[in-house]
């Protein structure tokens, strides 16, 4: 999962570890806590060994201090052609881990780089998974209610509500996707411009109820 996210982020700009973590936190803040360095740095080395990223030379800008203090620290990575290939491959193949909480969140965060058919497939797979979880919770709340204390039941109830809410959210996204519109899209023209390629969603109406 982290591999996927790193490859995706480095496609927007070369970065060093610290920066990568900050961007990752900003992009995935809704999904998971900040990534640990104990995972990040080993993963970076793994990706480098696989040839998917390389160390970039720190554009000296001429006015830089030459080599007085040997310039330690600050290892900037950039993605390679093989890395982009790998990323595309990871997007295309949707295994079961694509639909769990973290996996889905990471994939969703890079939907701007994902083609519409794959987006639809992932959204539907996620919906199916959440529906299954929902049914499980309903079963427990219904059939096994007398075996559970009030706190455990309240937990299940809250979880069930979250499931129902997420299914509704997914339905909306799927409907939007099928009709070719972008997700919410209030800020017209500002957001999707940068990532050069892959069909940042078409213009699009905004349906919203937000305060």
Partner DNA sequence: GTGACGATGTATCGGTCCGATACATCGTCG
Partner DNA sequence: CGACGATGTATCGGACCGATACATCGTCAC
The residues binding DNA (CB under 7 A) are 1-3, 16-19, 22, 32-33, 35-39, 41-46, 69, 72-76, 95-97, 100
**Distance separating alpha carbons of residues 10 and 6, to the nearest angstrom:** 6
Give me 28's structure tokens: 């995935």
Told to check if 125 binds a second copy by CB under 8 A, we report no
Which of the listed partners (DNA, a second copy, none) does 206 bind, with a CB threshold of 5 to 8 Å by partner kind?
none
Minimum separation from the CB atom of position 105 to DNA (A):
12
- Contact between 31 and a second copy per CB under 8 A: yes
Among positions 158, 171, 175, 180, the unique one binding a second copy when judged by CB under 8 A? 158
Nearer to DNA, 74 or 157 (CB): 74
**Cα dist from 167 to 103, 170, 174, whole Å:** 17, 5, 10
167 binds, among a second copy, DNA, none (CB under 5 to 8 A by kind): none
- Three-state DSSP at 32 gives coil
Q: What does the buried/exposed string (b/e) look like for 96-119 if buried means 16 or more CB atoms within 10 Å of the residue's CB?
A: eebbeeebbbbbbbbbbbbeeebb
Task: Spell out the residues 6+ positions from residue 107 whose beta carbon is closer than 8 angstroms to its own.
Answer: 4, 91, 94, 98, 114, 122
**Minimum distance between the CB of residue 70 and a second copy, rounded to whole angstroms?**
34
Q: Closest approach of Cβ 80 to a second copy, in Å? A: 23
Q: Which bin fits 55, alpha (ψ -120 to 50), beta or left (φ > 0)? A: beta
With binding defined as CB under 8 A, does residue 108 bind a second copy? yes
For a second copy, the binding residues (CB under 8 A) are 26-27, 29-31, 33, 100, 105, 108-112, 133, 136-137, 140, 144-160, 162, 165, 169, 173, 182-185, 187, 190-192, 194-195, 200-201, 207, 210
């Amino acid at each position: 999962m982290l591999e996927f996210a790193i490859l995706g982020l480095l496609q927007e700009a070369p970065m060093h570890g610290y920066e990568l973590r900050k961007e990752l936190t900003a992009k995935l803040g809704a999904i998971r806590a900040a990534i640990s360095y104990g995972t990040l740095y080993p993963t970076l080395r793994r990706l480098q060994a696989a040839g998917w990223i390389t160390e970039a030379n720190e554009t000296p800008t001429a006015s830089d201090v030459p080599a007085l203090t040997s310039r330690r620290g600050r290892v900037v990575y950039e993605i390679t052609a093989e890395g982009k290939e790998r990323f595309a491959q990871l997007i295309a193949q949707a295994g079961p881990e694509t639909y769990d909480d973290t996996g889905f969140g990471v994939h969703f965060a890079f939907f701007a780089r994902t083609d519409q058919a794959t987006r639809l497939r992932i959204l539907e797979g996620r919906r199916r998974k959440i529906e299954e979880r929902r049914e499980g919770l309903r079963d427990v709340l219904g059939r096994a209610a007398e075996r559970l204390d009030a706190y455990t039941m309240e937990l299940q109830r809250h979880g069930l509500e979250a499931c129902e809410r997420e299914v509704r959210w997914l339905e909306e996204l799927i409907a939007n996707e099928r009709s070719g519109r972008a997700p919410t899209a209030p800020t017209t023209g500002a957001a999707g411009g940068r990532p050069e390629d892959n069909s940042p969603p078409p213009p699009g109406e905004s349906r919203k109820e937000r305060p």
